[in-house]
Amino acid sequence: MEAVRRNKTAIGTIFCADYGLILNKVDEKKLITRREYNNLKNINGEDIWGHVIALVDKIMNKGDATCEAFLNLLQTDDDIKSTYPELKNIQWSATIPLTQPVQSSSEDHFDGMSQECKRIRRVT
């Protein structure tokens, strides 16, 4: 669960690009119930960011086993990997020490995604 919590903002930013795909994938893998799926699909008064964060929170609230299944889905599903290539830049494990300095370009990458998410919010 900590890996999801630690990367919640990055995950949310990435999923703003295509919220429907990730919602359908977690439904297919039965990580959420059908009722939860319908509730997440029909949240009134929320923009895409709100929908994405509600989904991530729902997954985290289900506990470690569901979070592990979610992380496995993110790292192994071909549709997810091709739709959200930025996921490969997320460090899921906190135990891997850095061997090289962190580059500022990775932060710039997520800032660009944040701008895209903000643009989507304004359009809807």
Residue range 76-92, pLDDT digits in tens: 999 999 999 988 887 76
Whether the pLDDT of residue 72 is over 70: the answer is: yes
The interaxial angle of helices 8-15 and 48-61, nearest 10 deg, is: 130
Give the pLDDT score at 96: 47
Please indicate whether residue 17 or residue 101 has the higher confidence score (pLDDT): 17
Per the CB < 8 A criterion, the answer to whether 93 and 6 are in contact is no
Q: Which residues contact 122 (CB under 8 A, 6 or more apart)?
A: none
Mean pLDDT of 90-113: 56
Q: Torsion angle of alpha carbons 94, 83, 70, 14, nearest 10°?
A: 50
Note the pTM of the prediction, 2 decimals: 0.69
Q: What pLDDT sits at residue 97? A: 46
Predicted confidence band of residue 119 (pLDDT cuts 50, 70, 90): low
Give the residue extent of every domain in the chain: 1-89
- Per the CB < 8 A criterion, the answer to whether 26 and 70 are in contact is yes
CATH number among 1.10.150.120, 1.10.533.10, 1.10.4080.10, 3.40.50.620, domain 1-89:
1.10.533.10
Please, where are the H alpha helices in 16-63?
19-28, 34-41, 48-61
How many Cβ atoms sit within 10 Å of the Cβ of residue 40? 19
* pLDDT of 103 over the 50 cut: yes
Rounded CA separation 80/36 (Å)? 21
Average the pLDDT over 97-101 and give the result. Answer: 54
